[in-house]
Structure 1
């Protein structure tokens, strides 16, 4: 099961498979079928609702009331309203809306790129975890952006991404910040987390012309299998659009 429609699954399958398996393992370790999961910046529930469908309780903290409304509607359609709680807030207000040491897993997808202080944000997230709790951390990859800008013919912008401290290609770049794998690892370590796995996300999905995937019989399934296989190989991490770290509270 993937948390989004098949076309979008090309971009989310890797993360979903890692998260699903990690939650299953943690549930077995604790000897209880229901985990408490915090999805910060979870928006409309692309991951929260599928996690709830696994039987876990999910709290989504997001600053957008419109996104939370869509989340509640999606949860209702999936029949998991009783397992999904929507809370308006952000990483800065987490201490006010989530009890310290109260959750088994945290999903932090596409959040560190946009917060004012990534270290503070990750620290606030980690504070919500019980001992041994999991963190699924997904963030934009600086090196992947270098490749993407170069392939688009924007060579000066590619060089700017390579050298800029925030990994941006200029004032028109919609992404506030990008990270290298080492930078994400250092942030995780400083927050008291131990990284257990790293995966490259969207290694090929953003580079392959959509017409090939949409028109060639079996192409999407084949590309999906390729994404899953390449994600685990460190050689492909440098060219992925995003990096996914799975970590646990030491």
Structure 2
């Protein structure tokens, strides 16, 4: 039986999907224990995916049995989400609403979710601290926050390996980690900057992962043309994800945090 949270070809998201699946399992056990519903008794989690787009994370989470609300400003993305959820047989567990991180509580309930995903959002919002603050405010008194954002070190390394040394130097010294006017990403973060945003809202950081440490640097021909290469690269990414030296040069950074009641 295939794992719904880890498709073989999904090199760019495999680490986060594995971590997220385990975190949701832990959260469900904590919720059911607190409510006295041994074994789950049909209980599922309410998950909010801010900026969830076409459902790259929302649909696999729904396939695990949870209810997912996706907030995204793009009607085209939400249309694709609806179609994808239908094709995957989870249309009854995925709801898409148009909105953004800044006006989050115009479209969803404050304090109404067991887990919140804030993936690919903080790079683009005007105020990342506000984005995190709203994500935390959407959590119930205890809950799980998953943040995924662009990493500074990965951009510097990628520009340097491509021979764009001046751009790599520019990104390294730029306050937002941008390599020039043509850079499509408005902002990047170091591991320290991203964790400070989360802890600043009173959450406890459980883990920090480097994502796409190697996947964006290895030529596709080396992966596609070698039997077993995809699985080997997946295992390498997983092994390197929590090693500080590799986190520092990852294309993306993932922070998993908990909000505890009391």
TM-score with structure 1 setting the length: 0.97
Which of these residues, 8, 11, 16, is aligned with residue 6 of structure 1? Answer: 8
1:202 aligns with 2:203: no
Q: Which residue of 2 aligns with 1:180?
A: 190
Q: Which has the higher helix share?
A: 1
Shift of 1:4: 7.2
**Which residue number in structure 2 is paired with residue 165 of structure 1?**
175
Output aligned runs, 1:114-153, within 5 Å. 114-153=124-163
Tell me the residue number matched to 1:56: 66
CA RMSD of aligned residues (A): 1.2
**SS of alignment partner, residue 218 of structure 2:** coil
Partner of 2:35: none
Question: How much does 1:248 deviate?
Answer: 1.2
Rounded to whole Å, the distance in 2 between the matches of 1:194 and 1:131 is 13
- 214, 226, 230: which one pairs with 2:236? 226
The CA deviation at 1:6 is 3.2
Q: What SS does the corresponding residue of 1:49 show, helix, strand or coil? A: helix
Q: Give the equivalent residue in structure 1 for 2:45.
A: 35
C-alpha separation between the residues in 2 aligned to 1:103 and 1:29? Answer: 14
- Looking at structure 2, the residues matched to 136 and 196 of structure 1 have their Cα atoms a distance apart, in angstroms, of 10
Partner Cα distance (1:87, 1:181) in 2: 31
Instruction: State the TM-score, normalizing by the size of structure 2.
Output: 0.92
Structure 1 position 194, deviation (Å): 1.4
Q: CA deviation at 1:5?
A: 5.3
Contact 2:8 2:231 in 1 (8 A): no
- Partners in 2 of 1:5 and 1:133 — Cα distance? 26
Alignment of 1:229-240 (within 5 A): 229-240=239-250
Deviations 1:127-179 (A, max 9, x none): 11012211110011101111111111111111111100000000000111000
- TM-aligned CA deviation for residue 100 of structure 1: 1.3
Match of 1:111 in 2: 121
CA distance, structure 1, for counterparts of residue 77 and residue 5 of structure 2: 16
Conserved in 1, the CA contact under 8 Å of 2:4 and 2:64?
no
What secondary structure, in the 3-state scheme, does the structure 2 residue paired with 1:196 have? strand
Given that 2:101 and 2:131 are in contact with CA atoms closer than 8 Å, whether structure 1 keeps it comes out as yes
Contact 2:143 2:259 in 1 (8 A): yes
Number of residue pairs the alignment of both structures matches = 249
Q: Secondary structure at the match of 2:12?
A: helix
Partners of 1:136 and 1:244 within 8 A in 2? yes
Distance in 2 between residues matched to 1:138 and 1:2, nearest whole Å: 20
Q: CA shift at 1:192, angstroms?
A: 2.1
Consecutive unaligned residues in structure 1, runs of 5 or more: none
**1:75 and 2:76 are equivalent in the alignment:** no
The CA distance in 2 between the partners of 1:233 and 1:182, in whole Å, is 14
Residue equivalent to 2:55: 45
CA distance in 2, matches of 1:2, 1:235: 30
